[in-house]
Structure 1
Amino acid sequence: MKLVLMGNAGAGKTTLSRKLAAGRDIPCLSLDQVAFTAGVHRRPLADSIKAVLDFIAANDNWIIEGCYADIIEPILAHCETLVFLNPGLHACIDHCRKRPWEPEKIRFASRAGAESGKLDRLGVCVRTTKGRIWLATTPAFV
C-alpha cells in the first residue's frame, strides 16, 4: 500500500490512516511532522519534500496524510492511491474543536496552550485560508 490521504484540517485523515494501518506493518507519516520546524514556522519546502521522499525510500508500504498540496504534488508519482477526504466545512470545524490532543502534530508547549484559544485558530484557518476554501466546499467524492 502506497497511499496519500489529502483533505482539510479536521477531515479525518489521521483517523483513517490509523484505522488502515492498524494490525499491519504500515508506517504512517503526517505531513504536519515535516511541514514545520519546532513551533509554528514552516520549514523550507525543499526540506519538507526531502523528508517525505526519505520516508518513502525507507518503506515498502506507507500511508502519508496531510493538507499541504505543495508537499503532496511532488510525491504523487510515488503513490498508488490518492484519496481526497471532504466531509464538508462544518464537519471539519467541528472535528477540529473536538480533536484529541496530538502533541506530535499541534505544536504548543502544552495542552493548556492549545486549549487557551490557540487551537481555535485551526478552525479559523479551515474557514478562511485561501486555497483551502475549495476543499471545504467541493462535493465529496470519497
Structure 2
Amino acid sequence: MHKKIIVFGNSGSGKSTLAKTLQKQHQLAHLDLDTLAWQTTEPPSRKPLSESQAAINQFMADNEAWVIEGCYGDLLAWVSPQASHAVFMNLPVDLCQQNARSRPWEPHKYPSKAKQDANLPMLLDWIAQYTKRDDDFSFSQHQALFQQFTGSKLMMVENWQDFSDF
C-alpha cells in the first residue's frame, strides 16, 4: 500500500521538518500547502479555494505516494479522505515559538532571510493565538480533523517522538 500522509499543526510545530523526514524515509512526493495557498499579492491573500483544490488534485493524481503538510484546515479536509495516515503536530505554543525563532530561511516562502526575519514578530503572535482562534488555521480545526480521521493517526506533542513504525 502506498503511504499518503497529511501532517498538520500550528505554525512552528515542525510540520515541514517531519514531512521532509517522511519524504526521505518512505520515498514520498512532498507538498507544502504554503506553496499553493497564497496569491502573489501585497499584502498576501489566499487563492480561491477551488484553485488550491485543483492544484492539490493534480499533485495527488501525479503521485501514488505522498506527504502533504500545512496548517490549512479547509485544504486538509479536502485531502483527508484520500490520506492513509495523519500526524497532528500538537506541540505547546511556547515550543512552536521557539522553533519559529530558530528556523532557517525558507526561500520558497520569503525572497530573503531579512524579509523572513521582519515577519517574525507577526508570526510569533499568530502562533500564540493558535488555541484562541476559531479559523481554518486553529487548534479547534486541527483537533476536529484529527478526531474525524479514520486512517492510521498519530499526535505528536514534542519535537522528536518516535514515528518509525508509522
TM-score, structure 2 length as denominator? 0.74
Aligned length: 137
Give the aligned partner of residue 112 of structure 2.
110
Whole-angstrom distance in 2 between the partners of 1:136 and 1:3: 15
Write out aligned runs for 1:1-142 (5 A). Answer: 1-22=3-24, 24-39=26-41, 40-104=44-108, 106-107=109-110, 109-115=111-117, 117-128=118-129, 130-131=133-134, 132=138, 134=140, 141-142=155-156
Residues 1:64 and 1:43: Cα distance change in structure 2 (over 3 Å): same
Residues 1:135 and 1:112: Cα distance change in structure 2 (over 3 Å): same
Whole-angstrom distance in 1 between the partners of 2:142 and 2:92: 5
Residues 1:43 and 1:99: Cα distance change in structure 2 (over 3 Å): same
Task: Provide the identity percentage.
Answer: 31
* Deviation for aligned residue 1:133: 5.1
Whole-angstrom distance in 2 between the partners of 1:61 and 1:121: 35
* 1:28-69, Cα deviation, whole Å (9 max, x unpaired): 000101111225221111111111111011100000000000
* CA RMSD, Structure 1 to Structure 2 (Å): 2.2
* Deviation for aligned residue 1:134: 4.5
Give unmatched runs, 5+ long, in structure 2. Answer: 144-153, 157-166
* Deviation for aligned residue 1:21: 1.5
Q: Which runs of 4+ in 1 moved over 6 A?
A: none
Residues 1:134 and 1:78: Cα distance change in structure 2 (over 3 Å): closer
* Deviation for aligned residue 1:22: 1.6
Give unmatched runs, 5+ long, in structure 1. Answer: none
* 1:115-142, Cα deviation, whole Å (9 max, x unpaired): 2x222211111112513255899xx933
TM-score, structure 1 length as denominator? 0.86
Whole-angstrom distance in 1 between the partners of 2:155 and 2:113: 34
